[in-house]
Structure 1
Amino acid sequence: MSETAAANSNDQDALVVRQLADGVLRLTLNNPPANALSIAMMEALKSALDAAGTDNDVRVVVISAAGKVFSAGHDLKELTAHRSDDDRGRVFFEKTMRLCSDLMMTITALPKPVIAEVDGLATAAGCQLVATCDLAICTDTSQFCTPGVNIGLFCSTPMVAVSRAAHRKQAMEMLLTGEPVDASSAKEFGLVNRIVPKEYLRTVTDKYAAVIASKSALTLKIGKEAFYQQLERPLNEAYDYTAWVMTENMLARDAEEGINAFLEKREPKWSDR
């Protein structure tokens, strides 16, 4: 077992429980009932993701949660406690929002695909976390919302991820009303890929993860990076960039092996190079 798998894999008191099997690293948010994204939770999750990024045994990451709430977002009690600071909390608020942004960017930049497995409520920064992951699978009773407007705190940082995953007007609907949307609406909006009954959630997620883990790690790394890079470019620049990416990809050993295996009607043997 790799160091990543060994650390905290059996520690049920850890904020993030880590389990590695067959190339799939499962990171479970483990602070129910809210699984709030406190400073400690975000640091623990980011540390686990950073370790996964350089662990060759990890090919896919799944982020799940213990309890009935995937994540209720930032820890409002933790934030409010710092209003008595000399600066009324400005430094702590900046630290919290910056750390959250860094966590989301870590997921996007991670050279491994990340799947959100959602059973329950994902709200505010918790919804942001789901929207940031590359794929999301949820139960049919899950709900998603960006309710900051209800407490006078617009969900501006969650808006970044939600507006890039959902259609514009639907993202604005969530942000302006603060009302929860059900799983069916979340799929229609573009926040999740699949909706499954609760009893099949783990099975379906594991199936998706296993399929992805069977691919060349190098190819997944190249493809994920290119996907997010081209999204932010004008059409002509996106084509220029991806033409360069595919040329470099074609020169990789795994592309040569994969094409030869296809032509020879056999299974490829990846070297991740």
Structure 2
Amino acid sequence: MAETAPLVLRQDRDGVSMLTLNRPQARNALSREVMSALQTALDEVAVDPVIKVVVLAAAGPVFCAGHDLKQMRATEGHAGHLETFRQCAKLMTSLVHLRQPVIAKVQGTATAAGCQLVASCDLAIAVDTAKFATPGVNIGLFCSTPMVALSRNVPAKAAMEMLLTGEPVDAAEAVRLGLINRAVPAAELDSAVDQLATKIAAKSGRVLKLGKEAFHRQREMGLEDAYAYTAEVMALNMGLEDAGEGIDAFLGKRSPVWMA
């Protein structure tokens, strides 16, 4: 593949946008250029009124090997390294704050910032041969930023074991820990992701946006604050035309017709 090939591919169909990391010769490592291309794609999808679901995929046998270590070694000084990690942090938070739900379609191994990428998505389906790891400790670079997403998806002791040992977990264990939703044979990955994306895309886009934002915000709150906040969200939701349409359709035993 030529180096001039797009670093991120976009394909839209039926309200679903698939964004594919396209640097397989480098195991889809997150160079500054790859992160910039993915950020641009997310920013464009965010304002596309037709798109209700985003699928994050990757070309080649590896989903994402994390940061581009060759590029990082060629970068001199604290300021340059800090800029790279801040760029990555913005990318990961963009996935969380994107109005559309994001499904990670994991066709291979995801390590370090690649594991962080999976953990930052709302949902994840992987092939049953995939492995997940935060192996930075093995090369003297603790996976501190991947830790943020990892520790918000799996139990604390499981996260610490992954971080302290650098050892990978297989897809079955990743399901058990809650890092991914399910693992499927490679031949079933496309259909499993398509079915999930299609099911979600059939919902109201406004309601999906409202619900995703509320989910992530309430997770950071105490119990009473979370209930107070979500009560406001549900009252706001009840005022939307799509809520009225959905309830009327349910009572009338017909399919709803969403505004968006």
Cross-structure match for 1:71: 64
| Secondary structure in structure 1 of the residue aligned to 2:167 | coil
Q: Alpha-carbon deviations, 1:44-69, whole Å to 9, x = none?
A: 00110010000011110000000111
Equivalent position amino acid for 1:185 in 2: E
Query: Following the alignment from structure 1 to structure 2, what is the Cα–Cα distance between the partners of residues 177 and 255?
Result: 48
Secondary structure of 1:153's partner? coil
Asked whether 1:48 is paired with 2:41, we answer: yes
The equivalences for 1:60-209 within 5 A come to 60-83=53-76, 89-209=77-197
Question: What does residue 201 of structure 2 align with?
Answer: 213
SS in structure 1 at match of 2:75: helix
From 17, 20, 32, give the equivalent of 1:39.
32
> Offset at 1:206?
0.6
The alignment-based identity, stated in percent, is: 57
Pairwise CA RMSD: 0.8
Alignment correspondent of 2:14:
22
Residue identity in the other structure for 2:184: V
Moved over 4 A (4+): none
Counterpart Cα distance in 1 of 2:234 and 2:48: 25
Which residue identity is paired with 1:172?
A: M
The letter of the residue matching 2:256 is: P
Please state how far the C-alpha of 1:90 moved relative to its aligned partner: 1.3
In the comparison of the two structures, how many residue pairs are matched?
256
TM-score, with length taken from structure 2: 0.97
Counterpart in 2 of 1:6? none
State the AA in 1 paired with 2:45: A
For 1:3, the equivalent position in structure 2 comes to none
| Residue identity in the other structure for 1:25 | S
Distance in 1 (alpha carbons) for counterparts of 2:229 and 2:50: 30
Give the Cα separation in 1 of the matches to 2:82 and 2:70.
Answer: 16
| Structure 1 stretches lacking a partner, 5+ long | 1-11, 84-88
C-alpha distance in 2 between matches for 1:188 and 1:151: 27
Distance 1:207 1:46 in 2: 26
Pick one of 19, 34, 50 that aligns with 1:57.
50
1:227 counterpart residue number:
215
Instruction: Write the deviation string for residues 147-200 of structure 1: whole angstroms up to 9, x where unpaired.
Output: 010011110000000000011111111001000110001111110001100011
Task: Report the secondary structure of 2:17's partner residue.
Answer: strand
Instruction: Look up the match of 1:7.
Output: none
Q: In structure 2, what residue type is equivalent to 1:73?
A: G
**Counterpart secondary structure, 1:165:** coil
Unpaired stretches in structure 2, ≥5 consecutive residues: none
Distance 2:88 2:148 in 1: 12
Counterpart CA distance in 2 for 1:256 and 1:219 is 12
